[in-house]
Amino acid sequence: MQNFADFLDMLDGLLGSSVWFAYFLLGVGLFFTLYLKFPQVRYFKYALRIVTGKYDKADDKGDTSHFQALTTALSGTVGTGNIAGVALAIHQGGPAALFWMLVTAMLGMTTKFVEVTLSHKYRETDSEGKIAGGPMYYMKNKLNMKWLAVIFAIATVVSSFGTGNAPQINSISSSLNATFGVQQWIVGAVLSVLLAMVIIGGISRIAKVTEKLVPTMALIYFIGALAVIFSNAENIWPSFQAIFGQIFSGSAAVGGFLGASFAFLFNRGVNRGLFSNEAGQGSAPIAHAAARAHEPVSEGLVALLEPFIDTIIICTLTGLVLLSSGVWNQKHQNKFEMADLQIMSEVYYQQDESDVIELRDHILAKNTLPVFTGTLNIENGEIQNELSIIHARSLAENVQVFKGEELFNGELQVIKGLPDFEEGMYMTGKSLIHSAPLTSIAFTKSFLGDRGKFIVSIGLLLFAFSTVISWSYYGDRAVTYLVGNKGVVYYRIVYIIVFFLASFTDTTLVWKISYITIVLMTLPNLVGILLLRKDMKSTVKTFWTDFFKEHPEEKK
């Protein structure tokens, strides 16, 4: 299993975590931004009007309204990426990583405009009279590349489990267990029943749920975030300076943070930006294809709002919470995760600049420092050997070893920097933390105090659960494309079972698979929209010609 995990890491290093993928993703967004003359700026006001239904017609064909399609797609993107993803990007790349998330979103507004327009244009009606759309349909109907459509559809099904299902419920159950003490399997069981009640009703019920859930969860999170930011108002300007001050130079070491190179922070920002808003991935077009609209461009304009809301607004709020509260580079008492743990064979000091540089380069894989292999002697939980421990990309302090609730006494074997724990053994200490736990701590740094962490738990519950709902529909439509409607009921059953099991099991391997399938969705979609660039341009031109004939007052 470890060999398989290592293989997945290697594959991800060649694909999603590689520099070329980040450049390609941004390059496509930049190309269409220039090719279509900055549609995310020029058409923004029309997008706002369209989503309110101002230009709707009674005979528009589709299963959902513009607003329902937007909230369904947003519910798929607004999730753990906004709470945990931003914290992970800043943890790994420093504050400047947020800048590249914002760049990804700005260019992603155009990418999403293009992919949704084309997918809506070439959508179909399935055997039950329901709308079926997404990148696989323009790949088949316009590009005549059925093999590429099959690859995309299979990747979508796998991603529905790896991105939209297992990690989401695992995050929910872990968060509620830590905050309220509810057993993880109980959380999984209750939410599995609710999930079944929603997704069995299909897109109509999904849309009705998400149009209420998305605004509610956004409002709760928005209020909590502003409470933290204004409680730390003196740090707002320094936070912006940190975000924009090192965007090309790399992030300097500060506090417990050891620093990051430009290449790394750029990659983390773009990678987390994609995970957050999914622009270019091809998932949102599946939801938008079901919208009632007489013109594909109008639905593309609605989709243009998604990266703006998801990343430019919500992720920026999270970033400012993390930076203004000051928790992002502070060490906190926590239980160490094996995936973030490495025992070094020598002693390093945070106050020694040369040690910090060596550790940073080691973490960034620029060089390799010697790791410990051998026996640790432990007395009353204290390691007696002279060495240093890295946890969560920082030098750990006050490290203690436990077995169950008791401090451990005895010997602990370490192989290539990793402890060979017996059952019930673990380490604790002070180190940097990341993802949702970091955001939870940041939300306590306001007048709300410890009650702020409840906002993160509730927000994570609503955000992540809505993501699960939307991705069930994406997988549903991909299965319909591959085997027809007969396969949908079996897919939904498996989806619910996996959802329950993932609430109390380790999903690390699922995350690794997810990173790869995201790329397998994104690459064919980006190549496809590039091949259809002339089709897109002519479609947009025709739309505006007809639009201004019908609405001459809008020329003002």
- Say if CB 418 and CB 376 are below 8 A apart: no
Sign for the CA dihedral angle at 152, 153, 155, 159 comes to: positive
pLDDT, position 174: 78
Distance CA 352, CA 346 (A): 14
CA distances from 86 to 32, 272, 374, 433 (A): 26, 7, 37, 13
Per-residue pLDDT at 87 exceeds 60: yes
Decide: residue 394, CB within 10 A, 0-12 exposed, 13-18 middle, 19+ buried: buried
pLDDT, position 215: 78
Least confident of 36-40, 370-374, 450-454: 450-454
Contacts of 38 (CB under 8 A, 6+ apart): 110
Highest mean pLDDT among 307-311, 325-329, 462-466: 325-329
Name beta bridge partners: 429.
334
| pLDDT tens, position by position, 492-501 | 999 999 999 9
Distance CA 286, CA 177 (A): 33
| pLDDT tens, position by position, 377-393 | 999 999 999 999 999 99
For β-strands 389-391 and 374-379, DSSP reports them as unpaired
Distance CA 537, CA 114 (A): 9
Q: What is the mean pLDDT of residues 128-139?
A: 85
Among candidate residues 192, 200, 139, the one with its CA nearest the CA of residue 500: 192
Distance CA 292, CA 131 (A): 10
Among candidate residues 276, 268, 255, 274, the one with its CA nearest the CA of residue 318: 276
Distance CA 523, CA 168 (A): 24
Alpha helices in 122-235 (DSSP H): 135-141, 146-162, 166-180, 184-199, 202-231
Helix (H) or strand (E) run with residue 181 in it: none
Contacts of 193 (CB under 8 A, 6+ apart): none
pLDDT, position 79: 67
Of all residues in the chain, the percent with pLDDT exceeding 90 is 44
CA distances from 334 to 172, 205, 281 (A): 19, 41, 35
Distance CA 164, CA 58 (A): 34
Contacts of 546 (CB under 8 A, 6+ apart): 295
Q: How far is CA 12 from the centre of its chain?
A: 16
| pLDDT tens, position by position, 15-34 | 766 778 888 888 999 999 99
- Please provide residue 244's backbone torsions phi and psi, each rounded to the nearest 5 degrees: -100, -5
CA distances from 341 to 148, 178, 327, 344 (A): 40, 21, 20, 10
Least confident of 158-172, 339-353, 385-399: 158-172
Tokens representing 357 are: 């540089």
pLDDT interval class at 205 (50, 70, 90):
confident
Mean model confidence pLDDT for the chain: 87
In this predicted model, which residue has the larger pLDDT, 65 or 338? 338
Q: What is the mean pLDDT of residues 448-469?
A: 85
Per-residue pLDDT at 436 exceeds 90: no
Domains of the chain and any CATH numbers:
39-330+442-555 (1.20.1740.10), 334-431 (no CATH)
Tokens representing 59 are: 């005979």
For β-strands 124-125 and 410-415, DSSP reports them as unpaired
DSSP string for residues in 60-111 = --SSB-HHHHHHHHHHHHSSHIIIIIHHHHHHHH-THHHHHHHHHHHHHHHH
pLDDT, position 130: 76
pLDDT, position 530: 96
